[in-house]
């Protein structure tokens, strides 16, 4: 039996850091959750007796493997890949694959940990996982990407399955990559099953999956604003990124009458004071999704500012939606957002705000929508894709969109149920963490010591 006093945040984090050295992103993600749930652990003997926090912060398993493939010049290339199967207490492992030169185990552990709570919040039966590789897709031909994906799936296929683990996309993994990955799975197993989500619409993909993360983040913002008696119409937003999340967040912001002033990629950001209208957004989609070009082309075409090497947080707007990557809003950016009187920060990307920045925003009374809640729309529609695959049916776009809106509304309600007010605003971080945690923890208690 574990005593109450053991559950001190610093003491727990000290042990976690000792067991997982040199993994700052994992430490950051765990700290945020543990800080929220520690009062609940202290008052719940069953959680302490079952060592829930220790179990939840130790992945069920981590698979590491070599991926060998040949580039267009005939050179043999080697990358490292991982699948972190974090926790399957409430459903088969579920989470994306990330291809980026900086992917390492630390990144995937933080993402897999976060995914566990995010997936729980959706209310769907999905465990948490994440995977990926340090493969750099930038500048690679379609043939190279295909050979890499086929080689990666040759190993990954033995660890996944529709009732075991269902990967999807993330940074660097979109429709093209998922097509190659699914094709190789099907070839090796001679099975057409829902083992991946985000598939193409002609081979088992769900209507609305591509749009779901971005649309869902804006639906979450809409719920928050309605709760505050406010709305999106006539407002302005700054968005970072120009991938799947950012593009469809901008699309939904436009639809709801909110003007988006910025978008970015790793080379810098564009500032369009007239707003990224639907017509300009079509250009941006073609530029980023089809031609895979750089964002300065948008500024060249529409005659607006391009800020090389910068992030958009200095631009004044009502809402900030970080939709690019982790830790893209630091303390200095947060101070700038505060001095520009931003109303809300909604995390479209995973953990885009550093811990210091979160504190600054919260202390200034700025509404903060954490990733686990705000960007859960993507994995939620992945869950709906799994359901459709299992039933061998395909729902319409409208049907999926209605369900997505219902899920985002449900997440918002769960957050409210478990949160408190801090600095005059709802603490959505605490609400999301406790709601996500409780469902997983209760299942783990029920299983006994497994
Ligand atoms: N990578 C996305 C996320 O961060 C989606 C995962 C999925 O659809 O399984 O939630």
List C-alpha distances in Å: 203 to 183, 192, 267, 425.
Answer: 10, 9, 34, 45
Task: Evaluate: CB of 197 within 6 angstroms of ligand 1.
Answer: yes
Query: Using CA atoms, how far apart are residues 365 and 14, in angstroms rounded to an integer?
Result: 30
Residues above pLDDT 90, as percent of the chain: 97
For residue 191, pLDDT over 60 is answered with: yes
The atom number, within ligand 1, closest to the CA of 119 reads 10
Per-chain mean pLDDT for the chain: 97
Lowest mean pLDDT among 18-32, 138-152, 415-429: 415-429
- Rg, Å, the chain Cα set: 21
- Going by C-alpha positions, the residue among 397, 428, 395 that lies closest to residue 413 is 428
pLDDT, average across residues 223-247: 98
Q: Where are the alpha helices (DSSP H) in 342-427?
A: 355-363, 371-374, 376-391, 397-418
Is 323 exposed, middle or buried (CB count within 10 Å of its CB: 0-12, 13-18, 19+)? buried
Task: Evaluate: CB of 378 within 6 angstroms of ligand 1.
Answer: yes
The atom number, within ligand 1, closest to the CA of 376 reads 10
Query: Ligand 1, residues 95, 100, 175: which to mutate, most atoms within 8 A of Cβ?
Result: 95
For residue 6, pLDDT over 70 is answered with: no
Residues involved in catalysis: 130
The atom number, within ligand 1, closest to the CA of 166 reads 9
Task: Evaluate: CB of 243 within 6 angstroms of ligand 1.
Answer: no
Task: Evaluate: CB of 94 within 6 angstroms of ligand 1.
Answer: yes
pLDDT tens per residue across span 358-414:
999 999 999 999 999 999 999 999 999 999 999 999 999 999 999 999 999 999 999
Q: If you measure from the C-alpha of residue 170 to the centroid of ligand 1, how many angstroms do you get, rounded to a whole number?
A: 6
pLDDT for 1: 47
The atom number, within ligand 1, closest to the CA of 169 reads 1
Q: If you measure from the C-alpha of residue 134 to the centroid of ligand 1, how many angstroms do you get, rounded to a whole number?
A: 18
Query: Using CA atoms, how far apart are residues 30 and 109, in angstroms rounded to an integer?
Result: 10
Q: Where are the alpha helices (DSSP H) in 157-208?
A: 175-189
Q: Do 237 and 340 contact (CB within 8 A), yes or no?
A: no
For residue 421, pLDDT over 90 is answered with: no
Query: Using CA atoms, how far apart are residues 341 and 346, in angstroms rounded to an integer?
Result: 15
For residue 220, pLDDT over 80 is answered with: yes
pLDDT for 169: 98
Task: Evaluate: CB of 95 within 6 angstroms of ligand 1.
Answer: yes
Q: Which helix (H) or strand (E) holds 62?
A: strand 61-70
Residues above pLDDT 70, as percent of the chain: 99
What is the dihedral sign for C-alpha 427, 433, 439, 442?
Answer: negative
Q: Do 62 and 132 contact (CB within 8 A), yes or no?
A: no
pLDDT for 198: 98
Query: Using CA atoms, how far apart are residues 368 and 190, in angstroms rounded to an integer?
Result: 46
pLDDT for 424: 80
Query: Using CA atoms, how far apart are residues 171 and 324, in angstroms rounded to an integer?
Result: 9
Query: Using CA atoms, how far apart are residues 174 and 403, in angstroms rounded to an integer?
Result: 22
Give the residue, by CA position, lying nearest to ligand 1 atom 5: 379
Edge-to-edge strand list for the sheet holding 93-99: 61-70, 76-87, 128-133, 93-99, 165-168
Q: If you measure from the C-alpha of residue 171 to the centroid of ligand 1, how many angstroms do you get, rounded to a whole number?
A: 10
The band of 423, judged by pLDDT with boundaries at 50, 70 and 90, is confident
The band of 235, judged by pLDDT with boundaries at 50, 70 and 90, is very high
Residue with tokens 């991926």: 67
pLDDT tens per residue across span 265-313:
999 999 999 999 999 999 999 999 999 999 999 999 999 999 999 999 9
Give the residue, by CA position, lying nearest to ligand 1 atom 10: 379
Query: Using CA atoms, how far apart are residues 212 and 231, in angstroms rounded to an integer?
Result: 21
Task: Evaluate: CB of 168 within 6 angstroms of ligand 1.
Answer: yes
């Amino acid at each position: 039996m574990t005593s109450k006093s053991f559950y001190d945040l610093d003491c727990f984090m000290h042990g976690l850091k000792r067991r997982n050295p040199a993994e700052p992103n994992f430490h950051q993600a765990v700290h945020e959750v543990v800080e929220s749930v520690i009062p609940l652990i202290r008052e719940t003997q069953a959680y302490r007796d079952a060592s829930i926090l220790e179990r939840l912060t130790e992945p069920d398993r981590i698979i590491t493997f070599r991926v060998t493939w040949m580039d267009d010049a005939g050179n043999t290339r080697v990358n490292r890949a991982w699948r972190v199967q974090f926790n399957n207490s409430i459903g088969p492992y579920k989470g994306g694959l990330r291809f980026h030169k900086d992917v390492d185990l630390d990144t995937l552990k933080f993402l897999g940990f976060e995914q566990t709570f995010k997936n729980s919040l959706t209310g769907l039966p999905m465990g948490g996982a994440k995977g990926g590789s340090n493969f750099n897709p930038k500048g690679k031909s379609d043939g190279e990407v295909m050979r890499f994906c086929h080689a990666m799936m040759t190993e990954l296929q033995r660890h996944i399955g529709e009732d075991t683990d269902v990967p999807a996309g993330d940074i660097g993994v979109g429709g093209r990559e998922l097509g190659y990955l699914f094709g190789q799975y099907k070839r090796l197993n001679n099975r057409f099953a829902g083992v991946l989500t985000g598939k193409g619409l002609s081979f088992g993909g769900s209507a609305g999956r591509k749009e779901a993360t971005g649309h869902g983040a804006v639906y979450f913002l809409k719920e928050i604003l309605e709760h505050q008696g406010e709305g999106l119409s006539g407002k302005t937003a700054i968005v970072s990124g120009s991938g799947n999340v950012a593009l469809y967040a901008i699309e939904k912001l436009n639809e709801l009458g909110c003007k988006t002033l910025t978008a970015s990629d790793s080379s810098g950001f564009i500032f369009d004071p007239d707003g990224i209208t639907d017509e300009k957004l079509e250009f941006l989609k073609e530029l980023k999704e089809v031609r895979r070009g750089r964002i300065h082309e948008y500024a060249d075409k529409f005659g607006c500012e391009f800020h090389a090497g910068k992030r958009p947080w200095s631009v004044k707007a009502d809402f900030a939606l970080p939709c690019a990557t982790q830790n893209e809003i630091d303390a200095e950016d947060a101070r700038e957002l505060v001095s520009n009187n931003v109303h809300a920060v909604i995390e479209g990307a995973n953990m885009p705000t550093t811990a210091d920045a979160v504190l600054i925003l919260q202390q200034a009374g700025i509404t903060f929508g954490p990733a686990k809640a705000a960007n859960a729309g993507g994995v939620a529609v992945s869950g709906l894709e799994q359901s459709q695959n299992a039933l061998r049916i395909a729902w319409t776009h409208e049907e999926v969109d209605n369900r997505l809106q219902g899920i985002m509304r449900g997440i918002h309600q769960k957050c409210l149920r478990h949160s408190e007010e801090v600095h005059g605003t709802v603490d959505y971080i605490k609400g999301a963490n406790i709601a996500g945690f409780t469902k997983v923890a209760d299942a783990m208690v029920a299983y006994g010591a497994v």
